[in-house]
Amino acid sequence: QVQLVESGGGSVQAGGSLRLSCTASRFTDGSKTMAWFRQAPGKEREGVAAIYTGVGSVYYADSVKGRFTINAGSSKNTVYLQMNALKPEDTAMYYCAATTSRLRSGNWGVGPEYHYWGQGTQVTVSS
């Protein structure tokens, strides 16, 4: 059974940085799309960033472009989200998601496209 385990969440002040990690176990070593989603209280889940490990294609939500960077580890079963210049509106539970499908610009942010999800890690940004 595939498992995704996130780490790296925490509390920071506005303008600070955090790095989230997600490691997939018992997952294919082949190409995959791995992504970060977030959900704040009272709001819908939204896609933050995604990477297709096959060719390294990356996708970002407009709200995080220029501040967040997603990249995959050498094993391709670990994905990182470097978050800089954090804002209070970035406060949310962040979830890692994965699928063996190659998702693209039109569907990387669609939750049901992903087959596997982690338990989430909380990110809190204070002003």
HEC assignment per residue over 26-41: CCCCCCCEEEEEEECC
User: What pLDDT is attached to residue 76?
Assistant: 81
**End-to-end alpha-carbon separation of the chain, Å?**
40
Residue with the bigger pLDDT between 29 and 34: it is: 34
User: What pLDDT is attached to residue 103?
Assistant: 95
> Which band of pLDDT confidence, cut at 50, 70 and 90, is reported for residue 22?
very high
DSSP state of 22: E
CA angle in degrees (0–180, nearest 5) for 16-44-76 = 60
Q: What is the mean pLDDT of residues 42-59?
A: 96
| Rounded CA separation 104/108 (Å) | 5
| Rounded CA separation 80/97 (Å) | 12
Rounded to whole angstroms, what are the CA distances from 52 to 27, 47, 98, 106, 124? 15, 14, 10, 13, 27
